[in-house]
Structure 1
Amino acid sequence: MAEAEASPNPTKSGTFTTVFRGYDQVQVDEHLKKLSDRLDRTARSRDDATASVADLTKALGHAQQELVETKAALTRMAEEPTGPAAMSERVKTMMKLAEEEIDELRKKAEEEAAATRSAADAYSEKTREDARTEAARLADEAKAERTRSTRRPRRCAPTRRRRRRTRSPRTRRSRPRRSRRPRPMPRRPPRS
């Protein structure tokens, strides 16, 4: 069996044991299963290698295209370093870099604005919730105070005064009133 694993084609080397009607069926089935597994692994490796080659081919094509474009731009700049074509090429390059930088700054500003907005929303929601809680607490306290004040009558100084005032006119009415006429002045004897 050790020779069967070492040689790629065991049927030629004759490592299977012979039985009444040919080779041992169990040994042949095991060997076929091993060969099938090996074939599957090899096929998977081949597919992975093919996919990798395709990706590398695409990357190489892009790199070659960029190289050609860079060589052309370098040639134009080298031929006329101060000419209008070179200047326009430089301006295009600078504009492209500026646009990329602007895009990066815009993205960063939008991210910061979103973060600030979310923080402000969270703060406002927390403040609203605190205000609701405080309003509910104050309403409960007011309700409790109202309940307490209706359960026992208040006897304080203003109530007593009011009672005295209401009683005092009754007592005055029961007394006889004085007349408001002025009293006559006593007469004096004349002087001599």
Structure 2
Amino acid sequence: MTLPLPESFALTLRGYDRDQVDERIDELLTEIGLLTADRDAAVAEAETLARRLEEARSANAALRARADRLCRTPADPAAVGDRVRHLLELAHAEADGVVAAARQRGAAIVREAEDTAARKLEDARVHAAREIEHARHRVEYLAATERRTADRLRKIDAFLAEAAELLEADTRLHAAA
């Protein structure tokens, strides 16, 4: 801040008017004193505010720690006032209701899953029974086909044996002739 100075002092025979200069210096010293007092008061207030801010921060940290601690541990209804106790009882009742509803929903989901599993198991059994029956029919068909093929092969073997005998007999007759 710049100090207001008069543009000039009145000139006298030996320089400036001494009374005017002394008066201005007194004004300036008074103003400097007031400014110094204002500055000191502002510094003191700033220090006070800084202390209060630090105290508020400490109190805030303590309150946050307490809130965290209170949130982590369930509140004991016997350790609080009537209104808070009532609110806690309501909260516990609501929590019990939520837990009961969740258990009911869980039980319903389990029942639904068990019913679905039972239906799928029954469907699988029916499908397996059909596949087994189909496989039995296929086995019977293949066994019958194998028997027919074996019977035909025996007939073919017998026919070939008879043809071989006839051929051999014919060869002997031709050799004897």
Q: Shorter-chain-normalised TM-score: which range?
A: 0.3 to 0.5
TM-score w.r.t. structure 1 length? 0.36
TM-score w.r.t. structure 2 length? 0.39
| Structure possessing the higher radius of gyration over alpha carbons | 2
Q: Higher relative CO (CA 8 A, sep ≥ 6), structure 1 or 2?
A: 2
